[in-house]
């Protein structure tokens, strides 16, 4: 087992201790002073963003939120990434209780803060970090806390992320498969960066303790089952699961089985680093007629099949910072000058597949000649019922001992992530 935290400190922006909780008795409050000294020394260093520091046998791991530093000190060989992740969970829990985590909210809720720290970590090991579970037995009311005499079922149950006894009149599961396309195209029209980041986002409204099984067109799974893939299978990379997924089962036979939390959560994220054809291609022709007059012709082309349609398309075209009186003609959608962005924003509500559109700026005048803008063209869009990777949900089964029938709903969406095309 990885080494444990010795103590957790909450400090203000000047390094003064607001709250600290000693878990193992092998550090003192002086460690906070040593940490802040190390933090000041790191300023100006090339590694100043490093969230880990070491001094005289003590490792310091920290995050900053608003005007608060959250810091864990440990004398053991600990898993730094795990403890930093825990600090982020502490932030989420405090925000759930206090609306916002800042110095004032900590001072107003010292009792609740200590109670939460006691429940979230035991002898330096992270315990319960789900705000919805903690709120079942640690309640706040106008800076007062009430603790129930009996711990909730979820704390005594192996499934710490879900409460027992949940009941719904209508049992439903909503699954959104969302993929973000990241593309960077240089001025020569060459793709220099291309990847897809996907997420399976779920919202569950299920009674009892349901067992869910999800099947995807995962190449490894289909080949293990002896099924012919015929190009319909995909190779997923960098898969990350919610804690509810049984990892041993997945590693053994690629089955995604889990007892879901109640409400909204990210079941799984993944990445594909394969070359992606730009779904919307944009070209810009820039012509200077004088020292102060520029003409632009922008052409957009949707490069996906006709049966799909991109919605809420926005193409942001940079113009000189002192541009004035732009006049625009568009063959599709509408365009407007956004001086706060130094750009013209072309909006197309619905852009069908395999279609072209033009955006003509015959007159952009500037007070004097300005160098060409280096900012890229940025594109935003959403394509419902479509995924770049070709991922498919083959089945989603919900089994509960009471035998009720649950309705699963699956939706696919592709959207632009960091989608940029360089002009020069």
Say if residue 155's pLDDT is above 60: no
Structural contact between residues 256 and 211, judged by C-beta atoms closer than 8 angstroms: no
Q: Give the pLDDT band (50/70/90) at residue 347.
A: very high
For residue 173, what pLDDT is reported?
95
218: confidence class by pLDDT, cuts 50, 70, 90: confident
CA 8 to CA 60: how far, in whole Å? Answer: 10
370 pLDDT tier (thresholds 50, 70, 90): very low
15-51 residue pLDDT tens: 888 888 888 888 888 888 888 888 877 765 555 578 8
End-to-end, the C-alpha distance of the chain in Å comes to 53
At 413 the pLDDT is 95
Task: Specify the pairing of strand 172-185 against strand 407-421.
Answer: parallel
Mean pLDDT, range 416-423, rounded to an integer: 88
Domains and CATH numbers, the chain: 7-156 (3.30.450.60), 172-276+388-421 (2.60.40.1170), 280-384 (2.60.40.1170)
Q: What would the pLDDT profile of 80-134 be if each residue is shown by its tens digit?
A: 888 999 999 999 888 888 888 888 888 888 888 888 888 888 888 888 888 888 8
Tell me the average pLDDT across 215-231: 68
Average pLDDT on 328-333 reads: 84
pLDDT reported for residue 190: 87
For residues 400-406, give the mean pLDDT.
89
- Of 42-46, 269-273, 321-325, 380-384, the least confident: 42-46
Q: How confident is the model at residue 1 (pLDDT cuts 50, 70, 90)?
A: very low
77's torsion region: left (phi>0), alpha (psi -120 to 50) or beta?
beta
> What pLDDT, on a 0 to 100 scale, did the predictor assign at position 110?
81
Q: Closest by alpha carbon to 404, among 211, 213, 263?
A: 211
114, 9 contact by CB (below 8 A): no
- Enumerate residues 6+ apart whose C-beta is below 8 A from 38: 53, 55, 60
Query: pLDDT at position 365, please?
Result: 54
pLDDT at 153 over 50: no
Looking at the chain, the whole-number percentage of residues with pLDDT higher than 70 is 84
- Burial state string for 272-301 with b = 16 or more CB within 10 A and e = fewer than 16: beeebebbbbbebebeeeeebebebebebe
Strands 256-258 and 211-216: antiparallel
Tell me the C-alpha distance between 382 and 154, whole Å: 39
52-70 average pLDDT score? 88
The mean pLDDT of 153-170, rounded to a whole number, is 74
Q: What is the helix (H) or strand (E) element at residue 136, kind and residue range?
A: helix 131-137
Q: 220 or 345, which is more confident?
A: 345
pLDDT > 70? residue 343: yes
Distances (CA, A) of 143 to 111, 112, 250: 8, 8, 44
Q: What is the mean pLDDT of the chain?
A: 82
Q: Specify the pLDDT at position 324.
A: 67
Query: Has residue 10 got a pLDDT over 70?
Result: yes
């Amino acid at each position: 087992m990885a080494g444990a935290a010795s103590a957790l400190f909450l400090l203000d922006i000047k390094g003064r201790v607001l709250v600290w909780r000693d878990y193992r008795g092998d550090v003192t409050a002086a460690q906070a002073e040593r940490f802040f000294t190390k933090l000041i020394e790191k300023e100006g260093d090339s590694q100043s963003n490093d969230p880990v520091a070491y001094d005289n046998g003590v490792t310091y791991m920290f995050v900053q939120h608003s005007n608060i530093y959250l810091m864990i000190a440990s004398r053991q060989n600990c898993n730094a990434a795990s403890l930093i992740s825990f600090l982020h969970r502490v932030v989420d829990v405090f925000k759930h209780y206090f609306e916002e985590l800042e110095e004032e909210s900590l001072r107003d809720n010292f009792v609740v803060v200590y109670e939460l720290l006691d429940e979230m970590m035991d002898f330096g090991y992270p315990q319960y970090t789900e705000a919805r579970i903690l709120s079942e037995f640690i309640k706040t009311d106008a800076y007062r806390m009430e603790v129930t005499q009996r711990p909730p079922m979820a704390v005594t149950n192996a499934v710490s992320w879900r409460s027992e006894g949940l009941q719904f009149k209508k049992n439903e599961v909503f699954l959104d498969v969302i993929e973000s396309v990241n593309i960077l195209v240089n001025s020569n029209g060459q793709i220099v960066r291309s990847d897809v980041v996907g997420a399976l986002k779920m919202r569950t409204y299920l009674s009892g303790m349901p067992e869910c099984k999800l099947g995807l067109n995962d190449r490894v799974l289909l080949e293990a089952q002896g099924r012919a893939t015929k190009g319909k299978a995909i190779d997923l990379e960098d898969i990350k699961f919610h804690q509810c997924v049984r990892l041993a089962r997945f590693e053994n036979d690629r089955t995604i089985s889990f007892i879901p939390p109640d409400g909204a959560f990210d079941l799984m994220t993944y990445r594909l680093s394969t070359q992606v054809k730009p779904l919307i291609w944009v070209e810009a022709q820039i012509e200077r007629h004088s020292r102060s007059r520029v003409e632009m012709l922008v052409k957009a082309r949707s490069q996906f099949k006709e049966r799909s349609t991109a919605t809420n398309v926005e193409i942001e075209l940079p113009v000189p910072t002192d541009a004035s009186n732009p006049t625009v003609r568009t063959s599709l959608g509408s365009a407007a000058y956004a001086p706060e962005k130094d750009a013209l924003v072309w909006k197309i509500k619905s852009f069908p597949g395999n279609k072209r559109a033009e955006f003509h700026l015959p007159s952009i005048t500037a007070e004097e000649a300005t160098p060409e803008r280096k900012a890229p063209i940025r594109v935003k869009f959403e394509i419902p019922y479509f995924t770049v990777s070709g991922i498919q949900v083959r089945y989603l089964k919900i089994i509960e001992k009471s035998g009720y029938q649950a309705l699963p709903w699956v939706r696919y969406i592709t959207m632009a992530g960091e989608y940029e095309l360089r002009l020069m």
